[in-house]
């Protein structure tokens, strides 16, 4: 079989089709992917790669195919955000606190994708403990945006987004706490979906904010995301927040016609809600223009646009930045230098060991959020801050339910602007404010996705956000797929990749 140099241009679905047709082997796909990862190491997307592990998995996948196994993703190379623990690779959460840590088990999401036959190339860079919106908080190296090396790729799943956008890998796992799949997907021109909270197991996902964290796929198209989500979702008795939902074939649902739809109007009858709060003064003109053009395309496909309101959108920022740090301060208390992870070399007593270990192991943003969380949970402030935030969270979720009485899907921008320059955030609050459009769905536990929708300033990607009601991932993916069948934004690659 002669070497091919175009394999990186294949989507996951195309790779799967080539494997099924025996036009290419998993070993060949994996070798090509490993070569690209090495060639583009300067992106900073990968924290660890193991060619021996990947090629052994690829050979095993080829052997399964030879025996008649026709599992959809069998032999397809992917990579995992380094927030999922793995036995084959170090699991660091991009923090010095877990430098070199090897888990004795795989996260459920990793195990499910491994059972589906995917090949793991390695672990992907991210903001430390998934805290950040720019991927500037990794303890090891920054990730750069393939579209412009002087721009951020978004965070916290920036390594996943950059790897997919640069065609180093066809698909990757990410996690979304307040927008960490959707925001980097938008800023790098790829597709990503945050499922309903509880759709994918959190077992083996290094916790940031337990009531918000959710795993999801990142790939070039809705079709690829559907394939990955079908394999990685499902009930897990080891995760108390995992929902007992029947398994769904999202790839099949993607292509199932809507009632009353026609070939040229695949979205006939779909009502798309436009929250007026998503199109206010804070939205950049170039992003607004791209999103409006995408909405016009959805209308051409048969959808009807409906004005709706999410009146508590602005409150989502203070609510999130009370609840998430509070949960982070609790979750990260386990990193004390006693059982695993970094331990200070010199200390006088137990308290001194705790203090020095955490001072050395945690980065500035993680320390900031731990301190905020400890404050809002402290005696005298719990009722004033944390309890009030939880009440407002319920009201934000109620706003969505009121909106869904008028529409089937909610649409709008993912981010207020295109990717900002590296190092341009004047203070942490500037990045917090950039999450205004992704936080509401996270607080409500709703599924949301980012779909490539054009380009803005300096030729940088813009994402269209689609938000569905609980367990309506299939409807989101169907809408995104119809849009991608009519447009080519998701096929565009950054120059040089």
Please name the helix (run of DSSP H) or strand (run of DSSP E) that holds residue 413, with its range, or none: strand 409-413
- pLDDT higher than threshold 70 for residue 9: yes
Cβ neighbourhood burial of 57 (10 Å; 0-12, 13-18, 19+): buried
In the set 91, 180, 230, 233, the catalytic residue is 180
Could you say which of 25, 26, 48, 81 is catalytic? 81
Q: What angle do CA 171, 172, 173 make, to 5 degrees?
A: 140
pLDDT at residue 2, rounded to an integer? 43
Task: Tokens for 259, please give them.
Answer: 């009632």
**pLDDT at residue 350 in the model:** 95
Q: Is 425 a member of any domain?
A: no
Whether residue 19 contacts residue 119, with contact meaning beta carbons closer than 8 Å, is answered with no
468 found inside a domain: no
Total-model pTM: 0.96
pLDDT of res. 243: 97
CA distance 441 to 326: 19
Mean pLDDT of 91-106: 96
The Cα 409–Cα 395 span in angstroms is 19
Domain hosting 90: range is 7-254
pLDDT tens digits, 226-278? 999 999 999 999 999 999 998 899 999 998 888 888 989 999 999 999 999 99
Instruction: Report helix, strand or coil for 341.
Output: coil
Confidence of residue 3 (pLDDT cuts 50, 70, 90): low
pLDDT tens track for 24-52? 999 999 999 999 999 999 999 999 999 99
Note whether residue 79 is domain-resident. Answer: yes
Residues ≥6 apart with Cβ < 8 Å to 278? 310, 313, 412, 413, 437
Predicted local distance difference test score (pLDDT) of residue 4 = 67
DSSP, res 207: P
155: left (phi over 0), alpha (psi -120 to 50) or beta: beta
Question: What are the pLDDT digits (tens) for 272-310?
Answer: 999 999 999 899 999 999 999 999 999 999 999 999 999
- pLDDT value of position 6: 87
Question: Does residue 212 belong to any structural domain of this protein?
Answer: yes
Q: Does residue 148 fall inside a structural domain?
A: yes
Strands 214-219 and 171-176: antiparallel
Residue 227 backbone dihedrals phi, psi, to 5 degrees:
-60, -45
d(CA 375, CA 11): 46
CATH number of the domain within which 110 lies: 3.90.1300.10
Please say if 333 is a catalytic residue. no
Residue 85 belongs to some domain of the structure? yes
**Beta-strand pair 304-308/271-275:** parallel
Q: Is 81 a catalytic residue?
A: yes
Domain tally, the chain: 1
pLDDT of residue 432: 86
DSSP string, 337-350: SSSSS---S--SSH
Residue 470, Cβ neighbours under 10 Å: how many? Answer: 18
Tens of pLDDT, residues 324-380 = 999 999 999 999 999 889 999 999 999 999 999 999 999 999 999 999 999 999 988
pLDDT recorded at residue 346: 95
The answer to whether residue 185 sits within a structural domain is yes
Q: What mean pLDDT do residues 310-329 have? A: 96
Cα-Cα end-to-end distance for the chain = 25
Paired tokens of 119: 């090949």
Tell me, yes or no, whether 295 lies in a domain: no
* Catalytic one of 103, 138, 156, 329: 156
Q: What would the mean pLDDT of 197-207 be, rounded to a whole number?
A: 98
> Residue 401: enclosing H or E segment and its boundaries?
helix 388-403
Tokens at residue 372, please? 């905020």
Cβ-proximal residues to 156 (8 Å cutoff; 6+ apart), any chain: 83, 126, 127, 130, 131, 132, 133, 135, 137, 175, 177, 180, 184
Whether 427 has a pLDDT exceeding 90, the answer reads: no
């Amino acid at each position: 079989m002669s070497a091919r140099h175009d394999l990186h241009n294949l989507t996951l679905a195309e790779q799967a089709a080539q494997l099924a047709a025996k036009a290419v082997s998993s070993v060949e796909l994996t070798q090509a992917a490993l070569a690209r990862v090495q060639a583009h190491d300067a992106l900073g997307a990968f924290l660890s790669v193991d060619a021996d592990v990947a090629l052994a998995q690829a050979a095993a996948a080829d052997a399964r195919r030879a025996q008649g196994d026709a599992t959809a993703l069998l032999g397809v190379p992917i990579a995992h955000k380094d927030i999922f623990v793995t036995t084959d690779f170090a699991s660091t959460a991009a923090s010095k606190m877990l430098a070199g840590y090897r888990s004795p088990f795989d996260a459920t999401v990793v195990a499910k994708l491994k059972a589906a036959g995917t090949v793991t190339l390695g672990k992907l860079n991210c903001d430390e403990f998934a805290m950040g919106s720019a991927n500037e908080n990794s303890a090891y190296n920054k990730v750069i945006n393939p579209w412009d090396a002087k721009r951020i790729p978004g965070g916290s799943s920036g390594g996943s987004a950059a790897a997919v956008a640069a065609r180093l890998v066809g698909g990757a796992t990410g996690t979304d706490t307040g927008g960490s799949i959707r925001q980097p997907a938008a800023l790098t021109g790829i597709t990503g979906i945050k499922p309903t909270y509880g759709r994918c197991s959190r077992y083996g996902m290094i916790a940031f904010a337990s009531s918000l964290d959710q795993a999801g796929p990142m790939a070039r198209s809705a079709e690829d995301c559907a394939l990955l989500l079908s394999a990685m979702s499902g009930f897990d008795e080891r995760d108390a927040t995992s929902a007992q939902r029947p398994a769904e074939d999202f790839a099949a649902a993607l292509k199932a016609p809507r009632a009353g739809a026609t070939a040229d109007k695949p979205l006939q009858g779909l009502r798309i809600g436009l929250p007026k709060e998503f199109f206010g003064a804070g939205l950049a003109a170039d992003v607004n223009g791209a999103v409006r053009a995408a909405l016009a395309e959805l209308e051409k496909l048969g959808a009807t646009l409906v004005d709706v309101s999410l009146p508590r959108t602005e409150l989502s920022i203070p609510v999130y930045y009370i609840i998430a740090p509070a949960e982070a301060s609790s979750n990260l208390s386990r990193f004390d230098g006693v059982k695993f992870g970094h331990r200070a070399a010199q200390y006088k007593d137990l308290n001194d060991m705790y203090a020095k270990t955490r001072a050395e192991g945690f980065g500035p943003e993680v320390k900031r959020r731990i301190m905020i969380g400890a404050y809002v949970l402290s005696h005298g402030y719990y009722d004033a801050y944390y309890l009030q935030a939880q009440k407002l969270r319920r009201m934000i979720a109620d706003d969505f339910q009121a909106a869904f009485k008028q529409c089937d899907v909610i649409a709008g921008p993912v981010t207020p602007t295109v990717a900002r320059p590296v190092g341009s955030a004047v203070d942490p609050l500037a990045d917090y404010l950039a999450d205004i459009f992704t936080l509401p769905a996270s607080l409500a536990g709703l599924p949301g996705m980012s779909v490539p929708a054009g380009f803005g300033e300096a030729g940088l990607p813009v994402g269209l956000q689609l938000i569905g009601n609980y367990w309506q991932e299939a409807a989101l993916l169907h809408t995104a797929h119809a849009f991608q069948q009519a447009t080519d934004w998701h096929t565009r690659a950054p120059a040089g990749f």
